[in-house]
Structure 1
Amino acid sequence: MAGPSRTLAKANVCIMCIVHPGAMCSPDTMAHGTMLLLISLILAVGPAVGFYGGSMTFTPGNRFPDGSVEMHFYYRQSSRGPCGSQVNWICESGSCGVLTNIEAMVTDSSGPEDLWCQSEVHMATNVTTNGAFILSSPGCCWEDNVQGVGGWTLRTHVDTGRRSDTQSPNRSPVSAAIPNIRIPQNCFQNLQLLAHDPDDDVVRCRFNDTNQHPNIHLHKESCTLHREDSLALGVHVFELILEDYPVSNITVTGDNGVFSVSNASDSNPTALSQVPLQFGVEILPPAQGCVPGVNKPSFMTPTPLHGDVHHAAVGQAHEITLRAQVSDNSIFDFQVSGPSNMSKTLTGLSNGVMMATLTWIPQETDLYRHVPLCFTAETLNSQSEMRCIIVVVAKARVLSGEAKVICDDNSISIVVSKASMDGIDQNWLQLRDPTCSLTSNQTHILGTMSLNTCGTTMDDSGDFMVFKNEINSFENPNAVITRRNQVKFGFSCQYPKIASVSNRYINHKSDYIFTESSFGTFSYSFEVFTDSSFNSQVDPSQYPVQVQLMDPIYMGIEASTALPEVTLFVESCRATPEDNPFSPVFYDIVKDGCVTDETVTVYASDSTKYDFEIQAFKFTGGFDEVYISCSVILCAKDSPNSRCAQGCLGQAARRRRRDVSQETARHYITQGPLRVARQTHNSAASTDSGFLHVSTSTGVFAGLFVVSIAVVVGMLVYNAKRTRSVDRMQLLSSF
Structure 2
Amino acid sequence: MLHRLKLGVLLQWLILFLLSPAYEASSLGLTVHVVPLEEYGGKTVRAHFSVITPSPCPDLLAVCAAGEDCQAHRTALPFSYTKPSPAWCVRQWQKTVPSNYNTFLKLGFKTEFYVSIKADPKIRANNGKLNRPPFVALPPPLRASVNCPADFHISTKDLDGDNVRCRFARADTGECRDCFPHNFLELDEASCTLTFTGKAAAGQYFIYLMAEDLIPSPPTRQILYNSPLSSVPVHLSLTVEESASGCGSNPLVLDGTPDRDSVQFVLPFQEGKFNANYKSDLESVLEIAVVGPPDLYRVGFVSISNLAKLTMAWIRSANNLTQLLPVCFVANTKSFQSGLRCVWLYQREMRTLPDGTELRCNQTEMSLLLPVTSLTNVNLDELQLNSPTCPVTHNSTHLTAHIPLGGCGTKAVHSGTELVYTNTLKSVHHTVISRRPSLILPLACRIPGAQVKGSQFAVNFPTERETFGEVMVWLEFHLPGQGPRARLTSSPRFRSNVLSPRFRRDTGSESSTSNSSTQTGVQPEETVKTLDLYVLSNCSIDRAEMIVTECRESEMENLTDSRPIMEKGCMTSNNTLEIITEQNTFKIYRLDINSFSVSGTKMYIECKVNLCIATMPSGTCPDLCSNSSRSTSTLIDSVFTSTYSIRSGPVSLLVADFMDRNATDPPPSNAPSTPGPNPSQTATMPGRTPPASQVPSVTTNTNTNTNTTASQAPEVATSRIAGVILMTIAMFLQMTILQ
Common fold: TM-score over 0.5 = no
**Bigger helix fraction:** 2
Q: Which has the larger radius of gyration?
A: 2
